[in-house]
Amino acid sequence: MLLGLPTSDRWTVFLDVDGTLLDIAPTPHAVRVPEGLVATLTRLRESLDDALAFVSGRSLDEIDQLFTPLRTAVAAEHGAIVRLPDGRMEETDVTVPAEWRAALADLAQEHRGVLIEEKRHSIAVHFRLAPEAEPIVRHAVDALVADAADRFDVLPARMAFEIRGRGVSKAAAVRRLMQADPFAGRLPLYIGDDVTDEPAIAAARELGGLGLHVGRDFGGEPANVRSWIGTLIDQELTEAPPHRPENG
């Protein structure tokens, strides 16, 4: 049962990972999962009758490793890979060409602090450790995609740019999962923090649910998200409007 949400039939919860559940780190591999979070998420999943999903730009393997032993529905790589609740996998057939990957690897070698995050269907170029390289990175990814704009687009993210297949989005992944049991027939609650999450936040609202933003609704702190999630477990639904902890 969920506390602080409007009374309805049942809810389903979609959670972004970096910047939402986990604090942002200097590099993607430096993130840490706070003690007790996996246990809390496991209890939340049980209270929702398995209607919990991670929706992340990370690879599927990384998500599973971060939250082991919890295994749940996942939209990985911004929805390029969707693991349905029954374990079936759905993937886009578009992947970044090898020559583009090689060109971006060369770019990272030429600019100290620029990092490449390789994924099965996409590639992200991070410049958090080299913010002065942002225009160089942007020009490079735009140039690669310029002649293939019908198949690829450039996704601006937090201190990164990512090349992905056109049509892949977290919003599309949420809509797909909402068609599958046990999500179907429920109201979606989506929580995210980045520009990549905005379409999914909007989709949750369009489907009659709630879309919450870490910056606008949780004071910009993943710790506040984690704390609020703890209040959603094993509580009675209330008639009150949704709790919006804008000041933490």
Q: Within this chain, do residues 19 and 73 fall inside the same structural domain, yes or no?
A: yes
Return all residues near 237 (Cβ < 8 A) that are at least 6 apart.
Answer: 1, 2, 3, 5, 7, 8
Q: Locate 160 and state its tokens.
A: 């990164």
Q: Within this chain, do residues 160 and 105 fall inside the same structural domain, yes or no?
A: yes
Q: Is 248 a member of any domain?
A: no
> Which CATH number does the domain housing residue 213 bear?
3.40.50.1000
Q: Is 115 a member of any domain?
A: yes
196-218, pLDDT tens digit by residue? 899 999 999 999 999 999 999 99
Q: Within this chain, do residues 209 and 103 fall inside the same structural domain, yes or no?
A: no
pLDDT for position 234: 52
Q: Within this chain, do residues 25 and 132 fall inside the same structural domain, yes or no?
A: no
Q: Is 243 a member of any domain?
A: no
Measured distance CA(63)–CA(156) in Å, rounded? 21
Q: Of these residues, 9, 16, 18, 153, which one is catalytic?
A: 16
Taken as a whole, the chain contains a residue count of 248
Q: What is the model's pTM?
A: 0.85
Q: Within this chain, do residues 88 and 172 fall inside the same structural domain, yes or no?
A: yes
Q: Within this chain, do residues 25 and 78 fall inside the same structural domain, yes or no?
A: yes
Q: Within this chain, do residues 145 and 185 fall inside the same structural domain, yes or no?
A: no
pLDDT for position 29: 83
Instruction: Check if 16 is active-site.
Output: yes
Q: Within this chain, do residues 83 and 182 fall inside the same structural domain, yes or no?
A: yes
Q: Are 214 and 225 in contact (CB under 8 A)?
A: yes
H-run or E-run covering 50: none
79: left (phi over 0), alpha (psi -120 to 50) or beta: left
Q: How confident is the model at residue 233 (pLDDT cuts 50, 70, 90)?
A: confident
Return all residues near 61 (Cβ < 8 A) that are at least 6 apart.
Answer: none
Return all residues near 44 (Cβ < 8 A) that are at least 6 apart.
Answer: 13, 52, 229, 232, 233
Among 231, 179, 187, 185, CA closest to 11: 187
Q: Which domain holds residue 145?
A: 98-165
> Which CATH number does the domain housing residue 156 bear?
3.30.70.1020
**CA-angle at 214, arms to 10 and 24, nearest 5°:** 120
21-74, pLDDT tens digit by residue? 999 888 888 899 999 999 999 999 998 889 999 999 999 999 999 999 999 999
Domain count, the chain: 2
The string over 143-155, giving b where at least 16 C-beta atoms fall within 10 Å of a residue's C-beta and e elsewhere, is ebbeeeeeebbbb
Q: Within this chain, do residues 159 and 119 fall inside the same structural domain, yes or no?
A: yes
Q: Within this chain, do residues 35 and 72 fall inside the same structural domain, yes or no?
A: yes
Q: Within this chain, do residues 135 and 175 fall inside the same structural domain, yes or no?
A: no
Q: Is 214 a member of any domain?
A: yes
Q: Within this chain, do residues 185 and 82 fall inside the same structural domain, yes or no?
A: yes
Return all residues near 133 (Cβ < 8 A) that are at least 6 apart.
Answer: 111, 113, 114, 127
Q: Is 4 a member of any domain?
A: no
